[in-house]
Structure 1
């Protein structure tokens, strides 16, 4: 089988399984493919060393990555049509020993940006997130662990700004994940001189109402995002932190002062992606079920007076808000006790260290 056909077969299988990620993991005698479905990894297939290396090289080439560079991490993206469904595929590679690469594909369907009410477990969460978008300026940050749906939530909020609020939205990403016609999208290209900092400077001259920065990952990006918010624009971005309170500490680590935080931050969210029960079958979907077990977002939101107190260092909250959301999900029959335990005890273990 040709490598292109193998890739299409792999992606078709992932789509049928409603997978969000595909992992190609190097082993001593070959490569192992795993797929993440509903937040869980499951073994799917295995390849010889030659098949795995050819597949990785083809994916890197298609994503405009350097196929000869195996010693450094790389990232890229491309679009692919599978069974009539347009997909955006985000590719990430890491060097692994001995002299091999590990590759992960993030699968992002393009045909539909779900609304906040579709994403969130509770309707009031969508209303709170939507209310943040009514601000004309400030910085809104979404946090949570990898794979918690931050990017999807961010796109949904941006779509609301463009379609419902009729605002001019410009996005700066590395790489562009979902290509949409509702807003202007710019991809970071350091070789061409388009960094997060220079890109944001150019965006400010382009009369934006809302600016989206893919991720605040370093001091330069943090400073540029804060400066954009201070100039009277609404800025949305993601940041890696354990919870909403932890975002404040992360920004301080990146050189943002508490005064700038209190002047710019409009809201901070921390979200988790939880598996919810199928309304027809219960925990496990039966064969032929059209519902399928899916995931939803539970979210804690830090805004208003509570945000001000945390930003000024006067108080420090805990995981209580997220735990309350989980308990409520169990009480209403949306979440299993096992799913509650998975998050609850995991966070308890972290807090005890």
Structure 2
């Protein structure tokens, strides 16, 4: 007599029992499933209710299958050699182990009920192959495939295809992905390469006789490729098609957006096309959602700075300003603060130009000048939406400043940015815009000024004893022992640049009654700074030198982004 099949608990009920989702959230996912016919677990992830790791473990419990975290897996090379890359990618599977003696293979797969995939595996090896399946998330498998099989998209190989073949222009102009076209794969290969190298921007720059391709890595542009200019028209058409631009328009600037799944994660690209004398210049800003929202305790503050910042954003009303030049990480800091306070009990609304990273439970709006939705009008409208916290992308003019301060004065917390060189520089900048000193006083909670500096490569940085002038810069006595500092060198880990990655240096100005009084009296920046220093204020230069003493960056790098002449 056959034993009854084990009772399987529905995935949704398991997640509710674990306290991961609510019944309302499950109901939303089920309604979405009726429209899209996608698995409910996948919908729960896309809606932001659960993570893929949570889904993987819950599915394992529901199906009675073991689940695995592939970031800690060890893969048998002999198993990889048996399974073609195309099969692994198409069916979202990764061979983990192969026992030749017993004809047994262990496979990580996102759908354990994919019978077609299992049959294909058997046909490739032995018909009597025993297959043990373990559950893994789709994006985990995609990342692991890239890691263990190597880069599928060879730029040199694709260029050879283009040189020896013909371009199907009708396929390029189609909205569907015609992957047989080498130009399509070339664009994907370049963008994938840029993401893997942690670039923030990709520049396609046509010159008179060639196309220059540059990545901005760690804040600096670096030439990656120089291609024959004849490639560019087809490449430009492809970029325009996938970013919903007008392919026939080449004489006016255009903006667009692309979303690609790279190594199992969704990456957005903000696209800008600008006509030049040699053709259209195209720049893509990379908006990696996985890196866009950083926990507050990981943005680069030490413990005392972090405590100050938490006190600032704990205030129920007032303005918090983040200052710095373009590309200094202001948006990342603002998103980290919003993420820290984001909870069910408050209503957070943002007005951005444009929205860079979608955030769950936060109402985000992009400014639209054509619809007369600018920062000032947007804040005015949001005030009628019962907000607790408002983020204004940038205070650019008197109207926006007036609405931001009006919101702060009526019981709201407001976050925004300004372009100034220092935290104290906010005061004269707002005066220039037209904000009265007595309005500033009492309504500005605090100011954060920041820069991004490159981190020394830990594999090749070289120690040395500080020289006399460097000792003075560090604020040490002339007779103090020379400290050990580090300078850039270069190795294969950092592509021989000496630096890899960036970190923030910051100065935090937390305003109190004494500083408010100075602002109201129109005190000079010098007087305000002296009063702030007496209260423990630390400048950008001092925070940068702290990083130098820690050995994470060099004096040369700090001198590149911060003025150190006052300390000499």
Q: TM-score higher than 0.5 here? A: yes
TM alignment of 1:143-158, pairs within 5 A? 143-158=323-338
Asked whether the 8 Å contact 1:33–1:44 carries over to 2, the reply is: yes
CA distance in 1, matches of 2:230, 2:332: 35
Contact 2:300/2:505 (<8 A) preserved: yes
Counterpart position of 1:340: 558
Other-structure match for 1:296: 503
CA distance in 2, matches of 1:57, 1:130: 48
Structure with bigger gyration radius: 2
Q: Does 1:138 align with 2:300?
A: no
**CA spacing shift, 1:77–1:312, aligned 2, 3 Å:** farther
1:322 counterpart = 2:540: yes
In the TM superposition, residue 162 of structure 1 has moved relative to its aligned partner by 0.5
Equivalent residue, structure 2, for 1:271? 450
Hey, what does 1:162 align to over in structure 2?
342
Partner Cα distance (1:255, 1:76) in 2:
35
Separation in 2, partners of 1:320, 1:326 = 10
Contact kept? 1:170, 1:212, Cα under 8 Å:
yes
- Equivalents in 2 of 1:196, 1:66: separation in Å? 27
Partner Cα separation in structure 2 for residue 312 and residue 4 of structure 1: 62
C-alpha distance in structure 1 between counterparts of 2:215 and 2:338, whole Å: 29
Look up the match of 2:439. Answer: 260
Deviation (angstroms), 1:3: 4.2
Task: Check the 8 A contact 2:208/2:278 in 1, yes or no.
Answer: no
Residues in 2 aligned to 1:10 and 1:307: alpha-carbon distance in whole angstroms: 51
Q: Distance in 1 between matches of 2:440 and 2:201?
A: 34
- Deviation (angstroms), 1:170: 0.9
Q: Which moved more, 1:326-335 or 1:122-131?
A: 122-131
Change (3 A) 1:260 1:44: same
CA–CA separation in structure 1 for the residues paired with 2:403 and 2:248: 33
How many equivalent pairs are there? 345
1:43 matched residue in structure 2: 223
Tell me if 1:210 matches 2:389.
yes
Separation in 1 of the partners of 2:308 and 2:380?
30
- Equivalent-residue separation in structure 1 for 2:411 and 2:359 (angstroms): 25
Structure with the largest fraction of strand: 1
Q: Give the root-mean-square deviation of aligned CA atoms.
A: 3.0
1:1-353 alignment to 2 at 5 Å? 1-65=181-245, 73-96=253-276, 98=277, 100-112=279-291, 113-163=293-343, 166-279=345-458, 281-282=460-461, 283=488, 287=492, 293-305=500-512, 307-308=515-516, 309-310=518-519, 312-317=521-526, 321-345=539-563, 348=565
Structure 1 alignment gaps of length 5 or more: none
* Structure 2: stretches of 5+ with no match in the other structure: 1-180, 462-487, 530-536
Cα distance in 1, alignment partners of residues 245 and 433 from structure 2: 29
Task: Provide the TM-score with structure 2 as the length reference.
Answer: 0.55
Question: Higher relative contact order at CA 8 Å, sep ≥6: structure 1 or structure 2?
Answer: 1
Aligned equivalents of 2:334 and 2:326: distance in 1?
A: 14
Partners of 1:184 and 1:48 lie apart in 2 by: 45
Give the 3-state SS of the residue equivalent to 2:456 in structure 1. Answer: coil
Give the drift of 1:110.
0.9
Cα distance in 1, alignment partners of residues 249 and 401 from structure 2: 29
Task: Find the aligned partners of 2:398 and 2:233 in 1 and give their Cα distance.
Answer: 36
Q: How high is the TM-score relative to the length of structure 1? A: 0.85
The alpha-carbon distance between structure 1 residues 198 and 67, as it changes in their structure 2 partners (threshold 3 A), is farther
Superposed displacement of residue 44, structure 1? 0.8
SS of equivalent to 2:226:
strand
Write the deviation string for residues 295-341 of structure 1: whole angstroms up to 9, x where unpaired. Answer: 11111112224753356431314797111111221122222222223
Deviates more, 1:266-275 or 1:17-26: 17-26
